[in-house]
Amino acid sequence: MAESARILIIDDEEGMRDFLSFVFKTEGYQALTAADGQEALELVERDNIDAILTDLKMPGMDGIELLRRIRELDRNVVVVIMTAYASLQSALEAMKYGAYDYLLKPFDDVDTVMDTIARAVERRRLIKRNARLLDDLQRANQQLNRMCEDAQQQAGELKQAYDELKSLDERKTRFMARVSRALLDSLAHIQGHVTLLSSERLGALGDEQREALVDVKQRAGELIRLVNDILYLQEAEAGQVQLSPRPVSLAAVVEGACRPVQAKADEQAITLDCDIPEALPLVLGDEARLQQAVTHLLDNAVKFSPPFSRVSVSLRQE
């Protein structure tokens, strides 16, 4: 920083100003001079001064008042006081007002002056660097605060959107449940009427009528299973599935699953083999859920098998 640092020399003695200016320029500093406090203040206000070397005793504005005024213009500029032995107490007082150091006149050697100025310039460099770092930190903090505010706003918007979607989903679930139960009621009525018609209590039936009723009953059963699947899925999504474990005959479960799939297999010319031994022990499980699962497996097997193929299901005790 020595090559570009600006040093302001303030002394009412022209010879001292010229001497110090020559020495500083020899060391690579930029040297400016002022004969009194007012001229010095104008230079401080106009130029970017790094360090100031000022005499304490000057006519008009003394070094203490000048130091106070300089602090008002640039509180970070580094000031070194020059004083004679007789005014050492005043120099110490000046340091209370923010002077960085003091030098006693006459100087014993120039090296002491140069060392003091070098330390003053380094201090100024550190002050500037710290100021830049502080400014960067403040800007980063402001940016972080803005990001936090944006994140909080987005979180609020997301929560609002989530609450709205949750409300819509709950309404959809309630609507689907009402529709599904209404469909189950209607399908139950249809099956009841089919059973009544099939019993011929309302009149004799021809072969074609019997076949039609069988088809209606089969389709109604498929719809009932589909609606029950929808209700089960809704319960699973809501975490409301309740199992009712009890001793269950797996043979009855598989037979119950084969019956509704048999008609679909016949339509597609698929042979459905159900090999179920009669003597099997009971198992603990939810009969309705087990039959639902096996029915789905068989239904998919038939659905994705080519015509004239064979789908086999068997039970074995190991």
Chain mean pLDDT for the chain: 85
Distance in angstroms between the alpha carbons of the first and the last residue of the chain: 90
Place of tokens 């800007």: 139
What pLDDT sits at residue 53?
Answer: 95
Q: Which residues pair with 246 in a beta bridge?
A: 285
Structure tokens at 190: 């249809």
CB of 82 within 8 A of CB of 56?
yes
- What percent of the chain has pLDDT above 70? 94
CA distance 165 to 159: 10
pLDDT number for residue 1: 42
pTM beyond 0.85: the answer is no
Element (H, E) at 206: none
What tens digit of pLDDT does each residue of 247-301 get?
Answer: 888 888 888 888 878 888 888 888 988 888 877 788 888 888 888 888 888 888 8
Taking 80 as the threshold, does the pLDDT of residue 89 lie above it? no
Return all residues near 285 (Cβ < 8 A) that are at least 6 apart: 245, 246, 248
Does residue 24 carry a pLDDT above 80? Answer: yes
Q: Are strands 30-34 and 101-105 parallel, antiparallel or unpaired?
A: unpaired
* Structural domains in the chain plus CATH codes: 6-107 (3.40.50.2300), 244-318 (3.30.565.10)
Q: 70 or 207, which is more confident?
A: 70
Q: Is 39 exposed, middle or buried (0-12, 13-18, 19+ CB in 10 A)?
A: middle
Q: Average pLDDT for residues 155-164, to the nearest whole number? A: 90
**239 confidence band (pLDDT: 50, 70, 90):** low
pLDDT at 241: 65
User: Hey, is 7 helix, strand or coil?
Assistant: strand
pLDDT for position 2: 43
pLDDT attached to residue 17: 92
201 or 35, which is more confident? Answer: 35
Specify the higher pLDDT residue, 32 or 221: 32
Q: Give 107-119 pLDDT, tens digit per residue.
A: 888 999 999 999 9
Mean pLDDT of 38-64: 90
